[in-house]
Structure 1
Amino acid sequence: MPAWLELPLPDGPVPVVLTRRRRQTIGLRVGSERVEVIAHPQVPLSELEAVLRRRSDWIAEHWRIQQQRKRERLAETHSLCLLGEVVPVRRRAEGRRVRVVHTDGALEVQGVAEGDEAALRTALAAWVKREAQLDFPRRVARLGAGLLRSPSACHLSAARTRWGSCTAQGVIRLNWRLLQAPPAIIDYVVAHELAHLMHMNHSAAFWAQVAALYPDWRVARQWLKTEGHRLFALG
C-alpha cells in the first residue's frame, strides 16, 4: 500500500497510509513500518491531516515503542534459548537450501540472506519444532512411566495461549516453544498434562497428582507466568 503522506516526527518522517472504510470514527494504528489512518470515505483529507497534527505526540510515543520492539526482535534472532541456555546464532548466506546445524555450541543457519530476519526466524522455528518432536515424547514417557494410564499420543501445539493440553482420549499436545525453556519448566507442563489423564479438571486431586509427578510445580508455574512471554521470540 503506497504512503499517503509522511508525518514529521522528532525521530524522522514516518510514512502514513490511508484506508477508507465505512466507520463512524477516525482510527489510528501505529505499526513498526508505518502509521495507518482509517476513516470513512466522506471524511476530507484536510480533517485527517488535522487529526495527525493533534495526535502527533501520541503517535511519536507509540512509534518509538514499536521501533524498540523491532530492535529487540532483531537482537533475539542473533541468539536463541535452547533448554534454558542461550545459544549463539550464526548465519551463512551460502547454500541452495535453508538448513540449521547445531555445532560447536552454536546454531548455524545456512541459506538465509543477511538482513532477512523473517526467514531467519522461520528457519529457527522449524528447527526448534523438529527438536521438540524428539524431546517431548521422551519426557512424557519418563515422567508418566508409573501412571495407571498412558497417553495415546504426544503431538506438538502452536497455541499462543496454552502451554499444553490433554484430550479425553489421552492425546497430549505440548507447545513447541517450550523447548526454549529450562528443562524443569518443560517437565512441569508435561506433568500437568499427564495428571489430566486421571483428572480432566483442576481439582485438589488433580493438583495432588501434579505434585506427585513434579513437586516444585508452583515455582515452574510462576516462571511461565512471568517469563513465558520470552518463549515467543520466534513467533
Structure 2
Amino acid sequence: MPFALLRRPDPDHLDIVHDGETYRVAVRRRPTARRLTLRVSAATGEVVITLPARSAISTAQRFAVSHGGWIAARLARVPERVPFAEGAMVPLRGVPHRIVRRCSRSGITRIEADAAEPVLSVSCGPEHVARRVQAFLDGEVRRDLARAVAHYTAKLGQGPVRITVRDTRSRWGSCTAGGALNFSWRLILAPPVVLDYLVAHEMAHLREMNHSARFWTLLGQLCPEVDAAEAWLKRNGTALHRYG
C-alpha cells in the first residue's frame, strides 16, 4: 500500500517585505474559508492571513506579497502603542493621567491630585512599573464593575453567577447562557458612562439572550445613556487597545 503524502505543518507566520520593511503576517487555516483573506486589526496591528483547507502556503505567500502596499497602509493607520512606563499618559475613567515613579519601596500605586495634571503614582523600581500599573487598573475596574453589577442587580431583580475580567479584543463584554458576565479590563480607561452602559447591556442579556426589540426596551429602562455610550465607543473604542 503506498504511503499517503503528508502536508508539512503550516508556519505560524509569514515575513512579507514591502519597500524595505518586513511585516509579520500570522497564518490561520480555516476549513470553512472559501478564499484567501487578509486582515489588519485596528486595535493591535496584528496582520492575519486566513487560508482555505486546500490552499498552499506558497499561494498564501504570493497573495500576501501582492498586497504589501495594502498591509503597509493599514498598519500606518493603527494608533501608536503606549506602554505603561514612567512619563506615559494613560486615561483613567476617561481622564488622562501621567505615570510618575516615586523613589520609594512601599509598593503603593495610587492616584494623586497634582497641581498641574492628574498623576498615577507608582512606588517601585523602573522594571516593575508596567506590572504595578496593570495590577492597579485591574483592581480599579473590578471595583467599578462590582458596583455597577450590584446597582443593576437591584434594578433587574437578578444577577450574574460570576464576573470575569479579561483582555478581550473583539468585544467589550459578553454574557454566557449560564449567566456569567465577561468584561474587558480596558473599560477602566473609558469614561464611567461607558462601563456603566456595558454592564447594563450584558445584564439585560440575563433576561433577554438576544438583541430583540424586547432586549433594547429593557436596556433603555435600565440605562438611559445607551446612545451616548455607544457613540463614544464607536469614536474612541479602538484607541483603548493602544495602552499597556
- The TM-score bracket by the shorter chain reads 0.5 to 0.7
Q: TM-score, normalised by structure 1?
A: 0.64
Please say which structure displays the higher CA radius of gyration: 1
Identity, in percent, stands at 32
Alignment match of 1:128 (pick from 117, 129, 137): 137
Contact residue 173 and residue 181 of structure 2 kept, 8 A: yes
Q: Secondary structure, in 3 states, of the residue corresponding to 1:197? A: coil
Q: Secondary structure, in 3 states, of the residue corresponding to 1:69? A: coil
| Greater shift in the superposed pair: 149-158 or 184-193 | 149-158
Question: Which ranges of structure 1 fall in alignment gaps of 5 or more residues?
Answer: 1-21, 39-57
1:37 is displaced (CA, Å) by: 9.1
Take 1:162 and 1:95, find their aligned partners in 2: how far apart are those partners? 38
For 1:205-229, what per-residue CA distance to the aligned partner results, in whole angstroms no more than 9, with x for missing partners?
A: 1111111111231221121122012
Counting only pairs closer than 5 Å after superposition, residues 123-162 of structure 1 correspond to structure 2 as 123-162=132-171
Contact residue 124 and residue 234 of structure 1 kept, 8 A: no
Take 2:23 and 2:238, find their aligned partners in 1: how far apart are those partners? 27
The alignment covers a number of residue pairs equal to 184
Take 1:130 and 1:74, find their aligned partners in 2: how far apart are those partners? 16
1:36 is displaced (CA, Å) by: 6.4
Take 1:176 and 1:98, find their aligned partners in 2: how far apart are those partners? 21
What amino acid maps onto 1:28 in structure 2? I
1:95 is displaced (CA, Å) by: 4.8
Instruction: Point out which structure has higher relative CO (alpha carbons under 8 A, 6+ apart).
Output: 2
Question: Which ranges of structure 2 fall in alignment gaps of 5 or more residues?
Answer: 1-9, 26-68
Structure 1 residues 101, 37: closer, same or farther in 2, change over 3 A? closer
For 1:192-211, what per-residue CA distance to the aligned partner results, in whole angstroms no more than 9, with x for missing partners?
A: 00100001111111111111
For 1:156-214, what per-residue CA distance to the aligned partner results, in whole angstroms no more than 9, with x for missing partners?
A: 12211111111122111221110111111111101100100001111111111111111
What amino acid maps onto 1:78 in structure 2? A
Structure 1 residues 227, 204: closer, same or farther in 2, change over 3 A? same
